[in-house]
């Protein structure tokens, strides 16, 4: 009787508020169906409330998780109202189990529930394997050591597995992790492997699967995430110095250029030996050219060898310039490596989780 009185008052108030409601912006067709289902329930027209809620579920993928849950709530409430003659306990319990499997903290809104239905929710929670996920909606993961986090809990011991993979385009999963048997688990994951990002900018599917260790009952929940992971570029580390930029540190070697002077020196020595003659028997018995050839040849050979042995003269200014260039090259290597390490350490991956079950 109290519910009938409340419903009558509600209908009267709705007629009084009609002009105001008409001025408000009309909601979506799905929300309109849900409102009509709720109104039918308040009017104690349980069969119509159930029918309208089922129409919402029949729409399919355009129905959000929140809208789907609301429709199931109306169906459960319509199947187990306070009026004993209208109660369909088994139907209501089965409907509540569908919600509890992915929403362990289910609490029906006051306008749909009563003490008996709340007890049925508790029974559904006790007799159904369910899983619930929580996480910060936005997470910024910095560098190779930064971590993202997802938490999950179940109402029975079991194993959990997390997979984060691109929503479109295929490709390998970015994250795959699992927990040992238990009733809760925390998944932590990095956004880099070594020096490379794990994620690319785009949409990702977050899939969490729980398996009851006793009954092997499996529950899979699917969420979405948007990842912002800019390209990570590195400075090129020089491999070797450009030898074309090095200056000669010595003057050129005399080398083959000593042949002509050597010949000239040898010739001069031979000519001089021919002119200068010793006194006595040597002057008359030994030919002048025999000594000149030996001396001239020796001087010529010595001059040529000295020319080829010449290493050139050191050029101090060029030596200093080359050392400066070498030091700058080594510094460029160190600076490039340090800059690359900084870019890796400060690299940021931003993940926005939408934890509304799909």
In a domain, 20, yes or no: no
Same domain, 250 and 312: yes
Q: Are residues 137 and 124 in the same domain?
A: no
Longest C-alpha distance within the chain, in Å?
Answer: 164
> Token digits for 109?
């809104």
pLDDT at 205: 94
Examine the fold and report which residue of 128, 162, 191 is the final residue of a domain before the chain moves on. 128
The answer to whether residues 330 and 266 belong to one domain is yes
**CA torsion through residues 13, 14, 15, 19, sign:** positive
19 found inside a domain: no
**Residue 29 burial class via C-beta count within 10 angstroms: exposed 0-12, middle 13-18, buried 19 and up:** exposed
What pLDDT is stored for residue 172 in this prediction?
A: 85
Whether 45 is covered by a domain: the verdict is yes
Q: Are 44 and 152 contained in the same domain?
A: no
82 and 153 housed in the same domain: no
- Would you state the pLDDT for residue 192? 94
Do residues 143 and 85 both lie within one domain?
A: no
pTM score over 0.75: no
Residues of the chain with pLDDT under 70: 1-27, 169-170, 252-301, 303-312, 357-358
Give the list of residues 6+ apart from residue 24 with CB closer than 8 angstroms, or none: none
Using alpha carbons only, what angle is made at residue 121 by residues 134 and 185, rounded to the nearest 5 degrees?
A: 25
Domain edge (last residue) among 78, 104, 128: 128
Q: Are 85 and 112 spatial neighbours (Cβ–Cβ below 8 Å)?
A: no
Clarify whether residues 121 and 36 are in a common domain.
yes
CATH code of the domain in which 147 resides: 2.60.40.4070
CA distance 163 to 178: 9
pLDDT at 313: 79
Q: What's the domain range around 9?
A: 2-14+26-128
Claim to verify: residue 123 and residue 136 sit in the same structural domain? no
Q: Does 137 reside within a domain?
A: yes
Q: Supply the pLDDT for residue 13.
A: 41
Query: Same domain, yes or no, for 277 and 223?
Result: no
> Both 9 and 117 in a single domain?
yes
- Taking the C-alpha atoms of residue 305 and residue 297, their distance in angstroms, rounded to an integer, is 12
Separation of CA 105 from chain center: 32
Dihedral sign, Cα of residue 307, residue 311, residue 313, residue 315: positive
Task: Give the number of domains in the chain.
Answer: 3
Q: 235 phi and psi, to 5 degrees?
A: -75, 145
Do 6 and 124 have their domain in common?
yes
**Residues 6+ positions from 322 with CB-CB distance below 8 Å:** 246, 247, 249
**pLDDT tens for each residue of 200-258:** 999 999 999 999 999 999 999 999 999 999 999 999 998 888 888 888 887 766 556 55
User: For residues 35 and 32, what is the distance between their CA atoms, to the nearest angstrom?
Assistant: 5
Same domain, 230 and 279: no
pLDDT at 315: 87
Q: How long, in residues, is the chain?
A: 358
């Amino acid at each position: 009787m109290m519910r009938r009185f409340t419903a009558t008052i509600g209908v009267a108030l709705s007629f009084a508020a009609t002009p105001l409601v008409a001025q408000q912006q009309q909601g979506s067709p799905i929300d309109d169906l849900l409102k009509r289902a709720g109104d039918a329930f308040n009017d104690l027209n349980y069969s119509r409330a159930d029918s309208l809620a089922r129409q919402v579920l029949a729409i399919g993928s355009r129905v959000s998780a929140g809208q789907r849950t609301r429709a199931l709530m109306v169906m459960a409430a319509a199947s187990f109202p306070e009026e004993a003659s209208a109660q369909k306990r088994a139907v209501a319990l089965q409907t509540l189990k569908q919600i509890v499997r992915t929403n362990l903290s289910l609490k029906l809104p006051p306008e749909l529930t009563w003490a008996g239905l709340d007890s049925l929710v508790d029974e559904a929670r006790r007799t159904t394997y369910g899983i619930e996920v929580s996480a910060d909606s936005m997470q910024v993961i910095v560098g190779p050591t930064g971590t993202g986090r997802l938490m999950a809990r179940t109402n029975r011991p079991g194993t959990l597995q997390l997979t984060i993979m691109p929503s479109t385009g295929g490709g390998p999963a970015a994250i795959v992790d699992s927990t040992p048997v238990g009733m809760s688990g925390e998944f932590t994951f990095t956004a880099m492997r070594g020096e490379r990002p794990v994620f690319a900018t785009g949409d990702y599917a977050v899939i969490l699967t729980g398996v009851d260790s006793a009954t092997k009952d499996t529950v899979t929940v699917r969420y979405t995430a948007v990842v912002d992971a800019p390209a990570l570029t590195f400075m090129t580390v020089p491999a070797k110095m450009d030898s074309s930029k090095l200056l000669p540190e010595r003057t050129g070697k005399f080398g083959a250029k000593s042949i002509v002077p050597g010949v000239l020196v040898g010739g001069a020595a031979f000519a001089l030996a021919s002119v200068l003659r010793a006194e006595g028997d040597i002057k008359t018995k030994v030919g002048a050219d025999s000594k000149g050839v030996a001396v001239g040849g020796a001087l010529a050979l010595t001059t040529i060898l000295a020319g080829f042995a010449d290493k050139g003269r050191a050029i101090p200014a060029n030596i200093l310039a080359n050392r400066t260039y070498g030091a700058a090259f080594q510094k460029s290597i160190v600076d490039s490596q340090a800059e690359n390490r900084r870019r890796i350490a400060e690299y940021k991956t931003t993940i926005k989780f939408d934890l509304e079950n799909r």
